[in-house]
């Protein structure tokens, strides 16, 4: 049983290595390309304003890494500013970049989901009217910040002043001939692992008209699972967004 890992290349390599150690025939088909933003000036400005923020929320490890890559020389994390992480991977990236663990808020490791909805109950009591909160996220191909604004709406209701900056760009991949052949074979055999609805959209764009009815998918969030069903995947299973959770679902396919 082949497992197609669709995360961006950096994360896909790590997942492929771990899945292979667990006995799966894993293959990376990255369906999202990560690139730096063309203009780093907004990131530098965000760093300058960081000490005045109540918190900075990071949507992913990529958001963390590209934000810190743009840090002015000698810049360190301001101790009075909280760092909010959507999950364990984002938390680990923050700590790796030198943010003290005691400054980071994140969902519990055994949380059912790693997303804004799970994070918000843990941090909402920190926010007072007039507080500034920075959201660091990805941008579209042009570099404009893109993504869900659910947390921004909750913050606005709480009276916070929300600022958003894109620390990286996301775009569709350019698959080589071998990757395209593997992907087409995966339309009738194997299991696709999706951690992003955007990846599913890119897959559909790469192979317009392709039927996925004979393919199986594992999705790490209910919204992603719904996108896989809408794309026509015949079997869609939801999983916790952790290696153990995904492995348990894959084992059920054996």
- pLDDT of 111: 74
User: Which residues of the chain are modeled with pLDDT < 50?
Assistant: none
| CB-neighbour burial class of residue 78 (10 A; exposed 0-12, middle 13-18, buried 19+) | middle
| Cβ-based neighbour number of residue 8 at 10 Å | 24
Residue 88's pLDDT is: 87
Q: Tell me the H-state helices in the chain.
A: 9-21, 41-49, 61-69, 88-96, 116-123, 150-157, 177-185, 197-206, 222-231, 243-252
Distance, CA of 203 to CA of 186 (rounded, Å): 11
- The reported pLDDT for the residue numbered 109 is 79
The pLDDT of residue 245 is 92
Position 115 scores a pLDDT of 81
pLDDT value of residue 147: 67
pLDDT of residue 145: 67
Q: What is the pLDDT of residue 143?
A: 66
Torsion of CA 167, 164, 42, 47, to 10 degrees: -80
pLDDT of residue 142: 66
Per-residue buried b or exposed e for 155-170, using 16+ beta carbons within 10 Å of the residue's own CB: beebebebbbbbbbbb
Predicted TM-score (pTM) of this structure = 0.84
Identify the residue whose tokens are 């009815």. Answer: 213
């Amino acid at each position: 049983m082949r497992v197609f890992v669709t995360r961006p290349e950096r994360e896909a390599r790590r997942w492929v290595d771990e899945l292979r150690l667990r006995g799966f025939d894993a293959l990376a088909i990255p369906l999202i390309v990560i690139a730096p933003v063309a203009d780093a000036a907004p990131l530098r400005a965000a760093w300058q304003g960081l000490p005045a923020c109540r918190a900075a929320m990071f949507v992913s490890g990529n958001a963390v890494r590209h934000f810190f890559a743009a840090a002015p020389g000698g810049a360190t994390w301001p101790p009075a500013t909280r760092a909010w992480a959507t999950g364990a991977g984002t938390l680990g990236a923050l700590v790796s970049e030198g943010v003290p663990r005691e400054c980071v808020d994140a969902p519990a490791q055994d949380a059912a989901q790693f997303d804004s909805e799970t994070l918000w109950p843990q941090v909402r009591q920190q926010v007072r009217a007039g507080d500034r909160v920075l959201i660091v996220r990805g941008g579209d191909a042009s570099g404009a910040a893109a993504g869900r604004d659910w947390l921004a709406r909750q913050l606005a209701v709480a009276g916070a002043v929300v600022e958003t900056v894109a620390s990286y760009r996301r775009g569709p991949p350019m698959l080589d001939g071998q990757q395209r052949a593997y992907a087409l074979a995966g339309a009738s055999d194997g299991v696709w692992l999706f951690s992003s609805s955007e990846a599913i959209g890119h897959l559909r764009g790469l192979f317009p008209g392709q039927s996925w009815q004979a393919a199986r998918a594992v999705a790490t969030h209910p919204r992603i699972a719904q996108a896989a069903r809408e794309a026509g995947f015949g079997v869609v299973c939801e999983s916790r967004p952790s290696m153990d959770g995904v492995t348990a679902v894959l084992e059920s396919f054996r």
